[in-house]
Amino acid sequence: MRLKDPFSLKVVGMTKRTNKPRKPRDEESSDEVSGLTCQHVSKAVDLSSVKKAVTSSMWSMCSDCLRERTMIDGEPASGHDILVCLKCGFQGCSQSESQHSTKHHQTLHPESHCITVSLGTWKAWCFECNEELSTHCNKKALAQTLDFLQKHSVKAASDAFGWTGLKEEPSDYADQSRGKSPVNNCTLVLVKGINNLGNTCFFNAVMQNLSQTHMLNDLIQDVKEKGHKLKICPPGALTVTLPSPEPLTSAMFLFLHSVKESGKGPANPKILFNQLCQKAPRFKGYQQQDSQELLHYLLDSMRVEETKRIKAGILKSFNNPTEKTADDETKRQVKAYGKEGVTMNFVDRIFVGELTNTIMCEECEHISTVKEAFIDISLPVIEERVVLPKYDNCVHFATLLTEKKSDKVYTSARKQMLISSLPPVVTLHLKRFHQAGMNLRKVNRHVNFPLILDLAPFCSASCKNLVAGERVLYSLYGIVEHSGSMRGGHYTAYVKVRWPQRRTEQPNRRNMAGPREASSATQGQWVYVSDTNVHAVPESRVLNSQAYLLFYEEML
């Protein structure tokens, strides 16, 4: 049961300091004040007491829950449920039935134990003012205490860093593609914390999900070195030798490799992040950024690098012809192999699908069709509903009434968007940030999402590799969550440690999983990751998360 969270709801018995214009309860606006100047800081913040308390107690765990042996979903309150009192260093839960952080404030002198910091979002909150506080608008003691807690969190993770793993069956993705037999040795998939370089939680949350994308880990092995062989066909089989991988792709391989290493503390993403900033300068400066935009820039940049690499390999196979030296037949072959080869990069093979947009004029019934590639599918968080849109009202897949301009005359038209090609990994983006007049708002409401998603109703009749009447099941394995508001928030990740699936012997046949297969495919352990903070969580907590990105893999 999830009760009131002081960072999202009004605490019982407290009154607001100021009256603000009413707006939807679950929306935050970008034009709101950046934080409150609090009169209680001088009495309610004691850095020396906080240092003494947190260094002598279990980090990121509710002290009273441990003493009373109180459990939330079978586990003690921990992680982003914990608030630290900045007067005495008490760590108490905020979302359990016990509400120990609130009781701590009410039991002791309210005005001197009223300011807390969330270990999940690193936001300061005053119970007396019933407001979030800004470290810029208050005394230095508040910023210094927050800085100490953040450094202590990193140190605690480094000293006994959290990683979770399951004994895993061998994967067949890469071994079969390289002509090798599957290995018999079991490996261990780790969930390792990632150091925050400065407001890079948006990057860390995405990287946790990519680290748990088994197919990415397998296929990127092929691109790590110069001389990899790639077989392209049609029009006829052509084996090309690829040059060395480009900098960003190489950095991605090194990062994924470092995540698998045990015993070395949290992973350092600096090399990979710096390479990304070279491709996308907008991420320089360590400002708050958007995880969905980060995912697009990262995958697109690696896709461009691999496309360039494949084209270079094709040209080398034809002795690097130029416009002047190449005859018409050579030009035709280079173009044909290039068209086929560029889609064989690992980004396309894993993440890229195809949507078919069909528009029909209601007057003349003329039909036009346009195909477009997608890396993710954006879904609106509908005002009246708190569930993922159903088949009949989903904006991306349902039939909609639009206006079509032709010969300077507007006419009614119907638009339909269906999936015409499914990738092995489907990413759903919940559009929580939207424009409202001159302001940008965030929708904070909870959205229900399935653990097993059947995409068959959203596929076109000509969808590749889809047999009529079959279900197309995808299993959830990762989430990027955004908590907080437009003026300040925090990205975290939920990932499932699980066995990799084996490739079927019939590659053109998608899954036909029944109840038994669907149940067994969901086995694994969910893990919550907030930068360097890593711990296992029950499935119920995952389903209660405020999802922003959802990662689904096809069930084989």
pLDDT in tens, 15-34: 444 444 455 555 554 444 44
Task: Estimate to the nearest angstrom the gap between the alpha carbon of 343 and the chain centroid.
Answer: 24
Cα–Cα distance between 533 and 191 in angstroms, integer? 10
End-to-end CA distance of the chain: 35
pLDDT grade for 423, boundaries at 50, 70 and 90: very high
Residue range 346-361: mean pLDDT, rounded: 92
Which two structure tokens, joined as six digits, stand for 183? 């290995």
Residue 395, pLDDT above cutoff 50: no
Active-site residue, selected from the candidate residues 65, 114, 201, 463 = 201
Give the residue carrying structure tokens 């119970």.
127
Q: CATH 3.90.70.10 region(s) of the chain?
A: 163-554
Contact at 8 Å (CB) between 289 and 273?
no
Residue 207, pLDDT above cutoff 50: yes
State the pLDDT at residue 440: 76
Contact at 8 Å (CB) between 125 and 131?
yes
pLDDT tens track for 271-325: 999 999 999 999 988 888 999 999 999 999 999 999 988 888 888 888 777 766 7
Active-site residue, selected from the candidate residues 104, 105, 429, 490 = 490
CATH code for the structural domain at 27-159: 3.30.40.10
| Three-class secondary structure of residue 258 per DSSP | helix
State the pLDDT at residue 536: 86
| Cis-peptide, bond into residue 235, ω within 30° of zero | yes
Residue range 374-401: mean pLDDT, rounded: 56
pLDDT tens track for 145-182: 988 888 787 666 555 444 544 443 344 444 444 444 34
pLDDT tens track for 75-125: 555 544 789 999 999 998 876 667 888 889 888 777 789 999 988 777 888
- Mean pLDDT value across the chain: 77
State the pLDDT at residue 96: 62
Residues 6+ apart with CB under 8 A from 476: 449, 450, 451, 452, 453, 496, 550, 551, 552
Distances (CA, A) of 16 to 19, 21, 137, 142: 7, 12, 19, 21
State the pLDDT at residue 26: 59
State the pLDDT at residue 17: 46
Let me know if 296 is a catalytic residue.
no
Neighbours of 29 (CB within 10 A): 18
φ/ψ bin of 211: left (φ > 0), alpha (ψ from -120 to 50), beta (otherwise) = alpha
Q: CATH 3.30.40.10 region(s) of the chain?
A: 27-159
Q: What percent of the chain has pLDDT over 90?
A: 29
pLDDT grade for 407, boundaries at 50, 70 and 90: low
Higher pLDDT, 352 or 38: 352
- Of 373, 383, 494, the closest CA to residue 432 belongs to 383
List the single range of 126-130, 259-263, 427-431 with lowest mean pLDDT: 259-263
Cα–Cα distance between 539 and 527 in angstroms, integer? 9
Burial 507-532 (b: 16+ CB within 10 A, else e): eeebbebeeeebeebeebbbbbbbbb
Let me know if 446 is a catalytic residue.
no
Cα–Cα distance between 133 and 125 in angstroms, integer? 6
pLDDT grade for 187, boundaries at 50, 70 and 90: very low
Higher pLDDT, 55 or 516: 55
**Structure pTM?**
0.69
Residue 126, pLDDT above cutoff 50: yes
CATH topology for 163-554 is Cathepsin B; Chain A (3.90.70)
